[in-house]
Structure 1
């Protein structure tokens, strides 16, 4: 499966090295999508060693990004960690997007959300706002006209869910309900 073609008029280009790595990771995720878990690492290795080249903007942009060691290194580290957590990330997304099954989502939307979900769940050092803004930027650049709002809604709901799971429940004065002082 070929990575989607960027449409420069619909989104800004990534200038920050981390943003460039996310973009490359998204394109690689689209390539890995649908492959059995046992083949993902090998498919990623093949993609890095033989990036698509073509006379179109997509092929050259992808190959150029892969050739940039810093961008590729960051994207590779992100992808290798995500591949290990793929099923758990998909479970998080499925639980959050109750009305949309993953297999019914557009390829780009599904993989932007995987990337965002992974960063929200596994990279607490990355600010939540950055993850959400990057997800919307990638959806705007590579997805459909409706992708940015869809991705924003699901990613925001997931961020709230994860925050609620991490934060301890507020204790009521006097201890738990029904507790007897003794």
Structure 2
């Protein structure tokens, strides 16, 4: 597993935990940096991802709600919401990450962490965001 893949997985863990606990993900990130719960410190890229998702939270949720066909954000599994938010952040806001890489990473994590249907759903929704990305500016 590459360093960035591990950082993405840690970011998903924080986003998921924050939602489950009803706390702000950026605050949980700061808590994890100040008092780590694992032997390895959080990778810097994990912080960039979590902060980026939080900074664009409303816009990301609106995009996911708009382009998700037949599924409201609330109806999606919690882990899928975390994966989609992170993937959407990388696709829409990170020009240094190729869209195909961001989508592939999100799909791979969905394969490990979520339902059998999730990888296909996440792939389709993130691919749609990548497709409409030029119209969003």
CA distance in 2, matches of 1:123, 1:40: 19
Q: Given that residues 103 and 123 in structure 2 are in contact (C-alpha distance below 8 angstroms), is that contact kept between their aligned partners in structure 1? A: yes
Q: What is the deviation of 1:161?
A: 1.4
Q: Residue 123 of structure 1: which of 69, 73, 94 is its match?
A: 94
CA distance in 2, matches of 1:92, 1:103: 14
Q: What is the deviation of 1:120?
A: 0.9
Max radius of gyration: which structure? 1
Give the structure 1 partner of residue 84 of structure 2: 113
Q: Residue 26 of structure 2: which of 30, 36, 41 is its match?
A: 41
Matching of residue 154 in structure 1 with residue 128 in structure 2? no
Q: Given that residues 60 and 85 in structure 2 are in contact (C-alpha distance below 8 angstroms), is that contact kept between their aligned partners in structure 1? A: yes
TM-score by length of 1: 0.68
Give unpaired runs (5+ residues) of structure 2.
none
Matching of residue 140 in structure 1 with residue 111 in structure 2? yes
Give unpaired runs (5+ residues) of structure 1.
1-14, 52-62, 167-182
Q: State how many pairs are aligned.
A: 135
Give the structure 1 partner of residue 75 of structure 2: 104
Q: What is the deviation of 1:98?
A: 3.5
TM-score by length of 2: 0.88
Give the structure 1 partner of residue 8 of structure 2: 22
* Cα RMSD, aligned residues only: 1.7
Mean Cα deviation higher: 41-50 or 87-96: 41-50
Deviations 1:108-155 (A, max 9, x none): 111111001001111012101101110110100101111111111111
Higher share in helix: 2
Give the structure 2 partner of residue 81 of structure 1: 52
Q: What is the deviation of 1:76?
A: 0.9
Which of structure 1's runs of 4+ aligned residues deviate more than 6 A?
A: none
